[in-house]
Amino acid sequence: MNSHANINFLLTSFLVLLGSRIACVMVGLPATGKTLISQKVCRYLQWLGITTKVFNVGNYRRKLHGAHQLHDFFNPANPDGERSRREAAVEALEDMVYWFKKEQGVVALYDATNSTRSRREMLMAECKKHDIQVMFIESVCEDEALVLHNIMSVKLKSPDYKDMDPEKAVEDFKARIFHYREAYESITEENLTYIKLINVGSQVIINHIQGYLQSRIVYYLMNLHIAPRSIFFSRHGESLYNVMGKLGGDSDLSARGKQYAKSLPLLIATHLGNSEQLTVWTSTMKRTIGTAEHLTYPKLAWKALDELDAGVCDGMTYEEIEEQYPEDFANRDEDKFNYRYRGGESYRDVVLRLEPVIMELERQRNILIIGHQAILRCIYAYFMNHSHEKLPYIKIPLHTVIQLTPSAYTCEEKRFKVDIEAVDTHRPKPKAGAPKSATDANPETPVEASASTDAVKPAAAVGEKDCGATITTTTMSTTTFRDSAF
Ligand code: ATP
Ligand code: F6P
C-alpha cells in the first residue's frame, strides 16, 4: 500500500474510533436536488467504508399519512398538515439517533426540506443531546427551468403522484413549492456549520466546516455536476500474462489484445455520439497504454489506476499461490475485500487510493478508463453501489466495453462485447464447504466448468448480469454490431 492510502486508511479508522457522528441536514425547497445529493454522499462514504445512512422524511410521511397528499397538506397555514409533517420529521430523527447508537453510525443524511429556522433548531437541540455534530447542506436553485425539468423527470414518478394526470401533478407540485417558499428561511446564522450550493454549485458558500470528514464531504459536493455524460470502462486488451494465467506484472498485449486495441476507436466513436468530447485515462502500465494506442482523444496516464499490487505473488498464477502460500490463499477466499497480499495491497487499499480518481470523475464529462480488473471493479462498485463483499467478484471481462450513464437516481449500464476471443480471468468465490482449489470449476458459469484453470478459458459469449442493474449486452464483431438486450 502506498503512503497516501495508508494515511487515508488510518484517518478513516480514527474517525470511527473517536466516535465521530455527523448529521448532514439537507435544506432546500422541493425539487432542488436534496435527495440526489444525499444519496450520492451516502454512496461515496459507504464506498470509502464509512458507516452512512440516508433518512428520508418523505418516506416517513408516506408511511404515516399515506402517499396521496395534495398541496394543501404542505400549506404552512394548515395546522393539521403542519402537525403531521412534524410527526414524520420527529420519527425520522428518532430513528437516526437510534441508528447512530446501535449501528455505530458515522454520517447520517437527514433528507427533508428543513426550510424553517424553528425546524432546524429542533433538529440541532436533539442532536446536541446525543453528541451528534450537525452540518447543514442547503441547495438553492433559482433556475426555474431546471426546477420544472426536475419535476417532470423525477417528481412525476414519485408515489405521491401515482395514477395522477401528469399536468395536474405538475400544477400540484408547483403549488407545493409555493407553500414552502412562503415559509422558507435560508441559513444565515454565522455560528452554524453549513455549505450552501447555489445553482448546482455555480456558487458555493461554506461556513464553519470542521474536521476531516466534513471537509471531505464539502470537497465532494463542490465537484458534483448534473450535466449528461457517459463513463466508459474497458480492461486492457488481453496481455501475455493473462494468457499464462499470471497475476500483475507489466507485460505486453497478446496478438488478440492488440487486435482489440485496434477495434476500440470504432466502438467508442459509435457509442459516444458525434459532437461529444472524450478523455482517455489509462494506468502507467504497458498493457493499458498499448490498448489506448489507436485512440485519438486526449489521454492521461494515472499511477493511481495501476493494478492492485499482488506483492510477493506478483507474476504467479493462482495455482502457484495456492501451493506456496496456502494459508494466504484461503484467507483471501474468506475475505477478499480486506485480504492484503504480503508486501502488496488489498481491495480496501485500492479503494482508498482511487478516491482522487472518483473525485476527478465526478468533475469531468465523458471519460474512457482503460484499466485493470481489480481497479475497474472498485470504480464500477462506486457507481453501481455494490457492497464491499460483492466488489471483488464483479465481472469485468476482457474485450468488453462498459458504458455507464448516470441519471437522477440511477445509472444505466450497457456492455459491448467485442468478438475477439480472450481468456477469462474471473475467479469466482468458492461455495461454502466446497474444495477451495484454484483449479476448481466455477459452478455458476457453465463455460468455465470444463476448464482446467479459469485463467486460460475464452471469455463467455454473453455479458454479465450480477450487478443489480438493467444491463444491455451487445456483441461487436470487427465490422458489424449486433444488439441483444436481456
Ligand atoms: P423533494 O424536496 O421533493 O424531496 P429534492 O430536493 O430532494 O425534492 P430531488 O428528488 O433530489 O429533489 O431532485 C432530483 C433532481 O434534482 C434531479 O433531476 C437532479 O438532476 C436535480 N439536481 C441535483 N442537484 C441539484 C441542484 N444542486 N440544484 C438543482 N437541481 C439539482
Ligand atoms: O488476472 C488479471 C489481474 O488484473 C491481475 O493482474 C490481478 O492480480 C487480478 O486480475 C485481480 O483480480 P482478483 O482480485 O480476482 O485476483
Cα→Cα distances 405→62, 232, 248, 302, Å: 30, 9, 30, 23
User: Kind of pairing, strands 52-56 and 107-111?
Assistant: parallel
Residue 24 CA to ligand 1 center (angstroms) comes to: 16
pLDDT of residue 275: 80
In this structure, the number of other CB atoms found within 10 A of the CB of residue 369 comes to 25
pLDDT of residue 291: 99
Residue 124 CA to ligand 1 center (angstroms) comes to: 24
Of the bound ligands, which one is closest to the alpha carbon of residue 243? Answer: 2
Asked if 234 and 401 count as a contact pair (C-beta separation under 8 A), the reply is yes
Q: How distant is the alpha carbon of residue 348 from its chain centre?
A: 15
Q: How far apart are CA 325 and CA 437, in angstroms?
A: 12
pLDDT tens sequence for the chain (486 residues): 444 444 445 555 555 556 689 999 999 999 999 999 999 999 999 999 999 999 999 999 999 999 989 999 999 999 999 999 999 999 999 999 999 999 999 999 999 999 999 999 999 999 999 999 999 999 999 999 999 999 999 999 999 999 999 999 999 999 999 999 999 999 999 999 999 999 999 999 999 999 999 999 999 999 999 999 999 999 999 999 999 999 999 999 999 999 999 999 999 999 998 788 999 999 999 999 999 999 999 999 999 999 999 999 999 999 999 999 999 999 999 999 999 999 999 999 999 999 999 999 999 999 999 999 999 999 999 999 999 999 999 999 999 999 999 998 899 999 999 999 999 999 999 987 676 565 443 333 322 222 222 222 323 322 332 322 334 555 543 222 222 211
Mutational test site, ligand 1, from 29, 36, 155, 173, max ligand atoms within 8 Å of CB:
36
pLDDT of residue 432: 79
Asked if 201 and 225 count as a contact pair (C-beta separation under 8 A), the reply is yes
Q: How far apart are CA 177 and CA 202, in angstroms?
A: 22
Predicted TM-score (pTM) of the model is 0.88
336 CA closest ligand 2 atom index? 14
28 within ligand 1 shell (Cβ under 6 A): yes
248 CA closest ligand 2 atom index? 6
Catalytic status, residue 236? yes
Residue 427 CA to ligand 1 center (angstroms) comes to: 40
pLDDT of residue 32: 98
Catalytic status, residue 322? no
pLDDT of residue 431: 86
Residue 121's closest CA among 202, 189, 32, 201? 189
pLDDT of residue 3: 46
ipTM of predicted assembly, 2 dp:
0.88
Mutational test site, ligand 1, from 26, 29, 32, max ligand atoms within 8 Å of CB:
32
Residue 158 CA to ligand 1 center (angstroms) comes to: 13
